[in-house]
Amino acid sequence: MKLQKKTLVAAILLATSSLVQAGFSGNVALTTDYVWRGISQAGEDIAIQGGFDFEHESGAYAGVWASNVDYNAPGTVETDLYFGFANALGDFSYDVWYIDYLYPDNGAINFDEVGFSVGYDFKVISFSAGISSNDIIVENDDIGTYYEAGVDVPIGSTGISIAGHVGKYDLQGGAENYVDWKLGVAADFAGFGFDLSYSDTDLGNIDIADKRVFLTVSKAL
């Protein structure tokens, strides 16, 4: 969200949870910065986000998600439409998805993406890895490929977890490849989710890709 709800570790945790409770759900969030793959999408400002999901007991899912964005260009809203299939075989899990990133007030920057991730839950720690490819707008609509890996460490039964993430974006069409990384702490309290994260990239000459700390407060509906 750019599948923020599907940061790789989150996708794995979703896949390993019981899919018996299938149906509709919603979510809303307020974040001090909308950061996707290490780069601010909201002009380093506050973003309001939310969406709706449907999950079938088979593992199939679909949904819509939206956020305000600021690229110093036409386009103030991002709307993502997505579907996929996530499931688990014991402690091993997988997720395959398609996402269509839409910008209603600037269709020229619309793009789509397909991705696949796998993970393994060791109970005291979970590992995950994935790859996705998209038809992003990089000069001649060339393909970008994103490789990522993540780790999630729950702190006993406290409801608190520590997550780490690293990704590499290989971009064509003359754009600069880069690496991003993130470290965060997540907790549930009073029915709300709290996520405090540190993010950075090796794109040192771009302000919106510099190191930053951001807080996200979310609520499942």
Encode pLDDT of 32-57 as tens digits.
Answer: 999 999 999 999 999 999 999 999 99
Paired residues of 36 in beta bridges: 39
What pLDDT does 204 receive?
83
**Domains of the chain from N-terminus onward:** 4-220 (2.40.160.40)
Q: Quick check: 68 and 79 in contact, CB under 8 A? A: no
Listed as ranges, residues in the chain with pLDDT below 50 are: 5-20, 138-140
**Per this entry, what is the length of the chain?**
221
What pLDDT does 69 receive?
96
Q: Residue 113, Cβ neighbours under 10 Å: how many?
A: 20
Alpha carbon separation from 38 to 59, 95, 202 (Å, rounded): 29, 22, 9
Paired residues of 89 in beta bridges: 92
What pLDDT does 15 receive?
43
